[in-house]
Amino acid sequence: MKGVILAGGSGTRLYPLTRITNKHLLPIGDRPMVAYAVEALVKAGITELMLVTGGTHAGEFLRLLGNGHEYGIDRLAYAYQEQAAGIADALGLAERFVGDDLVAVMLADNILEMSLRPSIERFGSKGSGAQLLLWEEHEVNHLQSLGVAQFGDNDEIVRIVEKPSDPPSKLAVTGIYLYDPEVFRMVHDLEPSARGELEITDVNNFYVEAGTATYDILEGFWGDAGESIDAYYAVNDFVRTHGANKG
């Protein structure tokens, strides 16, 4: 299985912290944010990674990560996203890197308390389709700003609803997705959304409609450090107190 870390975007929700750097290079605890995504995938047994970024600070990732060996990476590749055209567009840049392998995709502002290894191993055994990593969120106002899973009578996902006014469940989609290589065909078939981007929710719903999407519910803390200034500091506080990627 290959790993793809998506570290693009304009970082407007963390402005003015992002005025002089990419948000994924901001510190969480004693390390840059992106280092936690790298650690999460390497600890899960994935040592061939591609980092996708863009903007004027892209070169700083090369200065930070280099060839990746210091971080336990065997092979580290980079891709540059010319413009902020969505998460699915960024993922599409990794097609040749991933080839015919399974792929673990992680947004670089996702911070986890516990190890990804159990989910990675379950998907590796499954070997096809998609596996979405969900997290239980009890605050309705937060669910209203996330993608939320809707379930059928047999607890199967029947739809991912983006930013629902009336959330269909308490299980939110995190920025961690496990796919088979068919994902790149789906990306090619996408049409831009109303905001002009290729949406990862559309990719996930392709798998859902095909009946090949399963899910895992993450244990412990999950935080999106790029969601807002308040979220950034809340994630920082948690990591300083409890650590990350444990187990």
CATH number, domain containing residue 23: 3.90.550.10
Section 102-126 average pLDDT? 97
Residue 179: φ, ψ to 5°: -135, 155
| pLDDT tens-digit map of 153-179 | 999 999 999 999 999 999 999 999 999
pTM above 0.85, yes or no: yes
Considering only CA atoms, give the Rg of the chain.
17
Q: What is the pLDDT of residue 56?
A: 87
Provide the number of structural domains found in the chain.
1
Is 247 part of any domain?
no
pLDDT band at 26 (very low <50, low <70, confident <90, very high): very high
Which residues share a beta bridge with 52?
6, 79
Average model confidence (pLDDT) across the chain: 96
Q: What is the pLDDT of residue 116?
A: 97
Residue 5 has pLDDT above 90, yes or no: yes
Give the integer Cα–Cα distance in Å for 194 and 54: 22
Distance in Å from the first CA to the final CA of the chain: 20
| pLDDT tens-digit map of 177-225 | 999 999 999 999 999 998 889 999 999 999 999 999 999 999 999 999 9
Give the integer Cα–Cα distance in Å for 145 and 152: 22
| pLDDT tens-digit map of 47-62 | 999 999 998 889 999 9
| pLDDT tens-digit map of 65-93 | 999 999 999 999 999 998 888 999 999 99
**Residue 216's domain spans which residues?**
2-242
Q: Are residues 233 and 150 in contact, defined by beta-carbon separation less than 8 angstroms? A: no
